[in-house]
């Protein structure tokens, strides 16, 4: 009988350990990947300052990038049939106050007119990825565009709602720095998660935002800039989320659930036994 008891206790413990192990493994699954690349950018929560002005900071290499394919801008004239930048790797981090997003992409030459942009939907209304252009059956919202150009050496915080409406905002909240090396641009954009400007995207940890990207190859070909204005490489809308701080209260509820279930078992058995005795 003693052996049986030991066996049962060991079995129970093994099951419990297996359950905890399985829940840890399942909980740490990476975000799903789309057929042609990633579907979301994760701004990893970090302590201390984010590398806002340093595209080459070592800490960037500790973050797994999301990768998005790019297409020529064909939606509106003047469209373009082929573009230099074919895909972009995106890494992001935040510290609860500020965020930084690193765009890494191949461009064979460093040119003054090289440029990159990150676009966000603003507020609750959906906005078309092409500059929030008018939709016929849906009332659209604004887009917030963070634009960086090599020759400007800084970011411009912009707003648009339709073509020909793109304009710099009064409140410039974004900064950007780019570094080109061996055919690769690394451009880092940074901003506080939250701003007081209603034209800005507000990034709340744990909430999903829509994000898109655009790139211009500023190489001079036959005396003209190769890609400019609406002639650019673009992405569709994808998702971005700032990682929320870990919520340990969940484990409290898990323990509470286990205790309540065990208590239920105890009282159920006791009730049946008493019923049988009477």
Partner 1 sequence: MKGPLAKTAILLVGMYVFLKFILPLFTAPLPASLIFLYLALTFASAMIFYTMSGGGLDEFMGPVGRFLTGSGQAGIAGTARILVFVLFPLLVGWQAYTRLAPSDMPPAENRTIHPAPPGEFVGLANPYPTTPENIMMGKGLYAAFCSPCHGANFDGKGPAAVGFNPPPANFSDPGTIAQLQESYLFWRIKKGGVGLPVEAMPWKSAMPRWEVELPDEWIWKIIMGEYDGAGQSPRTWEEEE
Contact pick of 46, 75, 98, 194 for partner 1 (by CB under 8 A) = 75
64 binds partner 1 (CB under 8 A): no
Buried b (16+ CB within 10 A) or exposed e, 11-38: eeeeeeeeeeeeeeeeeeeeeeeeeebb
- Restricting to residues 87-116, which ones interact with partner 1 according to CB under 8 A? none
| DSSP-assigned beta bridge partners for residue 159 | 144, 167
Q: What tokens does 115 get?
A: 């440029």
Task: Provide, rounded to whole angstroms, the least separation between the CB of residue 47 and partner 1.
Answer: 19
**Percentage helix, strand, coil, to 5, in the chain?**
20, 35, 45
CA pair distance 45, 64, nearest whole angstrom? 13
Closest to partner 1 by CB, 4 vs 182, is: 4
Closest to partner 1 by CB, 30 vs 223, is: 30
Closest to partner 1 by CB, 24 vs 196, is: 24
Number of residues binding to partner 1, judged by CB under 8 A: 73
Peptide bond into 4 cis (omega under 30): no
- Restricting to residues 254-273, which ones interact with partner 1 according to CB under 8 A? 254-262, 265, 268-269, 272-273
Stretch that binds partner 1, among 52-60, 95-103, 120-128, 195-203 (CB under 8 A): 120-128
134 binds partner 1 (CB under 8 A): yes
124 binds partner 1 (CB under 8 A): no
> H or E segment at 211?
strand 208-216
Binding letters toward partner 1, positions 203-242, x by CB under 8 A: ---x-x------------------------xxxxxxx-x-
Contact pick of 196, 221, 247, 278 for partner 1 (by CB under 8 A) = 247
Half-sphere exposure of 168 (CA within 13 A, CB side): 10
76 binds partner 1 (CB under 8 A): yes
43 burial (CB, 10 Å; 0-12 / 13-18 / 19+) is buried
| DSSP-assigned beta bridge partners for residue 91 | 102
Binding letters toward partner 1, positions 151-190, x by CB under 8 A: ----------------------------------------
21 binds partner 1 (CB under 8 A): no
| DSSP-assigned beta bridge partners for residue 88 | 68
């Amino acid at each position: 009988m003693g052996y049986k008891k030991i066996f049962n206790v060991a079995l129970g413990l093994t099951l419990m350990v297996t359950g905890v192990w399985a829940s840890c493994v399942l909980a740490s699954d990476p975000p799903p990947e789309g057929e042609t690349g990633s579907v979301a950018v994760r701004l990893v929560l970090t302590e201390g300052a984010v590398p806002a002005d340093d595209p080459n900071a070592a800490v960037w290499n500790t973050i797994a990038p999301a990768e998005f394919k790019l297409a020529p801008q064909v939606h509106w004239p003047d469209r373009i049939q082929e573009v230099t930048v074919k895909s972009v790797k995106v890494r992001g981090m935040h510290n609860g106050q500020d965020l930084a997003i690193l765009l890494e992409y191949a461009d064979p030459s460093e040119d003054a007119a090289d440029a990159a942009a990150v676009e966000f939907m603003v507020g609750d209304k959906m906005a078309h990825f092409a500059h929030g252009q008018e939709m016929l059956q849906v009332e659209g919202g604004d887009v917030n565009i963070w634009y960086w150009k090599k020759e400007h050496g800084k970011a411009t915080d912009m707003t648009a709602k339709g073509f020909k409406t793109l304009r710099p905002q009064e409140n410039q909240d974004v900064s950007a720095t780019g570094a080109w090396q061996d055919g690769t641009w690394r451009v880092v954009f940074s901003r506080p998660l939250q701003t007081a400007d209603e034209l800005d995207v507000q990034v709340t940890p744990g909430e999903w935002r829509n994000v898109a990207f655009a790139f211009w190859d500023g190489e001079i070909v036959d005396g003209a800039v190769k890609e400019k204005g609406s002639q650019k490489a673009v992405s569709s809308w994808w998702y971005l989320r700032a990682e929320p701080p870990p919520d340990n209260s969940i484990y409290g509820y898990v323990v509470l659930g286990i205790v309540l279930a065990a208590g239920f078992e105890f009282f159920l058995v006791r009730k049946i036994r008493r019923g049988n005795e009477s």
